[in-house]
């Protein structure tokens, strides 16, 4: 007979945290959110520690090099999506590793033959107001000029004007030569009263922009996550099919950690993949695995050698796996069980394997709950998809700005490997949807608010570290009536938009 578990599996909204004693020394500015990313032995420390306990999801609509740079600057890590060619993925990794603080690759580019209307559309869809004009419209093409809001006036007649007739062309611009330092670039910016300095190579190809506003930002970035060579840390998603080609290319590009991306990770395919990586790249790259939702799945991947294990099946915002296949588990219950298994494994073997709560975070307080329940860090898709730095289009729908966000198992992403059960089965069905999420602005600004809330809750619990939160938090189940009580209720909320 099948094993029936009668305990209900639960999700984050069904729990709350009970405050502990807050001492006078326990203030948000003293909270340290450092947390291990990869396996370590008792008495040692993890080779990679996050300064902010967040990683961005292995998804086309979330994690490209732009997101990876922005997140690593704030102390987290992106896992660049694997549902693209090996070369393209390795190029993205390379761009993150080559990123020099303050030097930004141009993300909105156009050719001289396009029109002002195209400029406006590009500005709308990318959110960037400084547009690079290159011969072929690519970010590193031959640099011809620049367009910003001060170069055009919008009227009915001007929309069809050619870019070449409105741009500020290269001969009139101050530029920096590739190899210039940030301080030198900044000196030119001040000397010429510029907002943006294009940096070009000796063949006149556009390499970077240096923005005046970024200089001050950079000076503030004490959370930046850097490797031993002072380059930003970056991860990448892999699958259990082409890892023998993909992993070498990613390692060559400088990736710090890879993660097998699968909706159901309790499989021999994952064990074979982990073991191949350990055999060929031991000490060179760490490998995460998943996703699992119980002790058995965790132990299987732990013993296979996984450096971190992702938890979560069916809870993602764009996920329809539970509807399609009937597999999954409430995310809170899954984390609680796997965290207990991790602690037991640590006791027994002296090896600590960090666990990642993947998917289903809706409110900021869910993050604190997931950490208190034992997650070491959180993977999020929807949260990051809303920001300027995600790779998708920003659109105006009705009177609201939104960003596109689609699942890896949707027809749009066509990442069938993530859902592959092996063999020659070519049956493909969707496990994800294509959607919009409300646009929320810059990653940095949002992260500040979110981490501010987590730190504040940690102080309410009387703790200053994630390890203490995991050990000391008191969590309670709540009834559905208490959930209603948790929001504003029995009042007429004022419409603050008017």
Q: What are the residue numbers of the active site? A: 319, 418
Of 317, 333, 435, 450, which one interacts with ligand IMP (CB under 6 A)? 317
Residue of 12, 87, 101, 26 lying closest to 365 (CA atoms): 12
Of 52, 196, 410, 457, which one interacts with ligand IMP (CB under 6 A)? 410
Stretch of 9-17, 160-168, 189-197, 404-412 lying at the interface with ligand IMP (CB under 6 A): 404-412
- Chain positions 243 to 272 lying near ligand IMP, rule: CB under 6 A, are 263
Q: How many helices (H) and strands (E) does the chain have?
A: 16, 24
Residue closer to ligand IMP (CB basis): 59 or 250? 59
Q: Does 321 bind ligand IMP (CB under 6 A)?
A: yes
Q: Does 379 bind ligand IMP (CB under 6 A)?
A: yes
∠ Cα 29 30 34 (to 5°): 105
Residue of 188, 189, 175, 105 lying closest to 145 (CA atoms): 175
Of 301, 337, 407, 447, which one interacts with ligand IMP (CB under 6 A)? 407
CA dist 279 → 254, 257, 352 (Å): 18, 15, 21
What is the nearest approach in angstroms of ligand IMP to the Cβ of residue 93?
18
Q: Does 319 bind ligand IMP (CB under 6 A)?
A: yes
CA dist 40 → 218, 351, 380 (Å): 31, 6, 24
Residue of 385, 402, 386 lying closest to 394 (CA atoms): 402
∠ Cα 323 328 333 (to 5°): 135
Q: Does 318 bind ligand IMP (CB under 6 A)?
A: yes
Q: Which two tokens stand for residue 234?
A: 């970056």
Q: How many residues does the chain have?
A: 498
Of 20, 66, 254, 432, which one interacts with ligand IMP (CB under 6 A)? 432
Q: Which two tokens stand for residue 310?
A: 């992702």
Stretch of 266-274, 354-362, 367-375, 440-448 lying at the interface with ligand IMP (CB under 6 A): 354-362
What is the nearest approach in angstroms of ligand IMP to the Cβ of residue 426?
18
CB-based contact 291:262 (threshold 8 Å): yes
Of 338, 361, 375, 459, which one interacts with ligand IMP (CB under 6 A)? 361
Q: Binding string, 439-468, against ligand IMP, x = CB under 6 A?
A: ------------------------------
Using CB under 6 A as the binding criterion, the count of chain residues that bind ligand IMP stands at 24
- DSSP output for 71-112: HHHTT-EEEE--SS-HHHHHHHHHHHHH-BTTBB--SSEE-T
Stretch of 37-45, 186-194, 353-361, 455-463 lying at the interface with ligand IMP (CB under 6 A): 353-361
Residue closer to ligand IMP (CB basis): 57 or 234? 57
What is the nearest approach in angstroms of ligand IMP to the Cβ of residue 371?
15
CA dist 379 → 5, 45, 199, 266, 375 (Å): 27, 21, 35, 18, 10
Cα Rg of the chain, angstroms: 24
- Neighbouring CB atoms inside 10 A of 75's CB total 23
Of 104, 330, 431, 463, which one interacts with ligand IMP (CB under 6 A)? 431
Rounded CA separation 117/163 (Å): 9
Q: Binding string, 40-79, against ligand IMP, x = CB under 6 A?
A: -----------------x-x--------------------
What is the nearest approach in angstroms of ligand IMP to the Cβ of residue 325?
10
Rounded CA separation 78/355 (Å): 16
CA dist 187 → 183, 184, 211 (Å): 6, 5, 12
Residue closer to ligand IMP (CB basis): 223 or 324? 324
Minimal CB distance to ligand IMP: which residue?
Answer: 432
What is the nearest approach in angstroms of ligand IMP to the Cβ of residue 129?
29
Residue numbers of the site for ligand IMP (CB under 6 A)?
57, 59, 263, 312, 316-319, 321, 358-361, 379-383, 407-410, 431-432
């Amino acid at each position: 007979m099948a094993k029936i578990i009668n305990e209900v599996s639960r999700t984050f909204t069904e729990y709350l945290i009970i405050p502990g004693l807050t001492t006078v020394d326990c203030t948000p500015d003293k909270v340290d959110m450092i947390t291990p990313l990869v396996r370590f032995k008792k008495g040692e420390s993890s080779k990679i520690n996050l300064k902010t306990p967040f990683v961005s999801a292995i998804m086309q609509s979330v994690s490209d090099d732009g997101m990876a740079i922005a997140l690593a600057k704030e102390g987290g890590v992106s896992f660049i999506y694997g549902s693209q060619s090996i070369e393209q993925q390795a190029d993205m990794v390379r761009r993150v590793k080559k990123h020099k603080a303050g030097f930004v690759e141009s993300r909105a580019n156009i050719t001289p033959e396009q029109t002002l209307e195209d400029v406006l559309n590009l500005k709308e869809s990318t959110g960037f107001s400084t547009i690079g004009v290159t011969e072929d419209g690519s970010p590193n093409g031959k640099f011809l000029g620049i367009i910003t809001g001060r170069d055009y006036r919008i009227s009915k007649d001007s929309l069809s004007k050619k870019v070449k007739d409105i741009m500020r062309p290269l001969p009139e611009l101050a530029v920096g030569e590739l190899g210039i330092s940030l301080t030198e670039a900044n000196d030119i910016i001040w000397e010429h009263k510029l907002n943006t300095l294009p940096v070009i190579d000796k063949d006149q190809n556009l390499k970077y922009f240096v923005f005046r506003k970024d200089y001050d930002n950079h000076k503030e970035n004490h959370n930046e996550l850097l490797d031993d060579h002072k380059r930003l840390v970056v991860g990448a998603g892999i699958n259990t099919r082409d890892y023998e080609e993909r992993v070498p290319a990613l390692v060559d590009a400088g990736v710090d950690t890879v993660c097998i991306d699968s909706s159901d990770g309790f499989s021999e395919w994952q064990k074979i993949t982990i073991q191949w990586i350990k055999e060929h790249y031991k000490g060179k790259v760490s490998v995460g695995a998943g996703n699992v939702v119980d002790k058995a799945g965790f132990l299987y991947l732990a013993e296979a050698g996984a450096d971190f294990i992702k938890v979560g099946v069916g809870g993602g915002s764009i996920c329809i796996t539970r509807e399609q296949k009937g597999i999954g588990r409430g995310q809170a219950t899954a984390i609680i069980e796997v965290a207990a298994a991790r602690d037991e494994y640590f006791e027994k073997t002296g090896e600590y394997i960090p666990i990642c709560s993947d998917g289903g975070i809706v409110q900021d307080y869910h993050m604190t709950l997931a950490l208190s329940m034992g997650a070491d860090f959180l993977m999020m898709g929807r949260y990051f998809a809303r920001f300027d730095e995600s790779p998708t289009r920003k659109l105006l729908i009705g009177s609201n700005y939104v960003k596109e966000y689609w699942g890896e198992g949707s027809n749009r992403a066509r990442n069938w490997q993530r859902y592959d059960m092996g063999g020659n089965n070519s049956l493909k069905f969707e496990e994800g949807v294509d959607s919009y999420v409300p646009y929320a602005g810059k990653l940095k600004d949002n992260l500040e608010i979110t981490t501010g809330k987590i730190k504040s809750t940690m102080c309410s619990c009387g703790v200053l570290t994630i390890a203490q939160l995991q050990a000391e938090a008191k969590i309670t189940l709540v009834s559905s009536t208490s959930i209603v009580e948790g929001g504003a209720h029995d009042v007429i909320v004022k419409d603050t938009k008017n």
